[in-house]
Amino acid sequence: MAAAALDGLLPLIDRPFVFFGHSMGALLAFECGRLLAQHNGVKPEHLFVSGSSAPQLKNQKRETHSSLPEQEFIEYLKTLNGTPPQVLQNPELLRLLLPVLRADFAACETYRYVPGPAIGCPIAAFGGIRDVDVPRDLLEGWREHAPEGAFSLSLLPGDHFFIHQSETILINRLLHVLAPLLQRLQLGVMQATSLIQ
């Protein structure tokens, strides 16, 4: 999946960039970053991971939700608070959505971390205070993949989908972390402009 995602991303990384991934997206962003560092010699300015256990801890619970019978799977989706109730109550939409959701869960459940080159950039991990699937200790494991002193962890109000429940807080935290990068880019643009003049 990471290699396929990079096919689309490569034309866009000719300038500074960051990766943000929530849940399965965090693992995908991490693996994309490692591939870029290994094969292209570039890295994100920052990796933001959200609602995901660190890759080396991902399969500790060994839970498999992707193969649950349909009604049990729907009930589990309800507990996550990430799928709007209108969707869960619409049989036609569910028929379209369930195979995609099962595939996402299967991808996470079958993911196996393989030690390799470091991503080489600062990492900020975010989690929901009430996320029972991804508690603090599993988020803390991301520290292992960040350079010394370049890791932060924030727990925000909400459950696994705290990104919706605490959207404003999350955006403000991201902007705070990105402020030095944005200032650097602005200075670079100003210097380039003065050279052109």
Within 13 Å, how many C-alpha atoms sit on residue 92's CB side?
0
Cβ-defined contacts of 169-177 (< 8 Å, 24+): 170/50, 170/126, 173/124, 173/126, 174/20, 174/48, 174/124, 177/46, 177/48, 177/124, 177/152
Taking the CA atoms of residue 154, residue 158, residue 159 and residue 161 in that order, the dihedral angle to the nearest 10 degrees is -90
Q: Of these residues, 23, 50, 53, 166, which one is catalytic?
A: 23
* Contact predicate 174/20, CB 8 Å: yes
Confirm whether 23 is a catalytic residue: yes
Residues 6+ apart with CB under 8 A from 134: 51, 52, 53, 127, 128, 160
Residues tagged active-site: 23
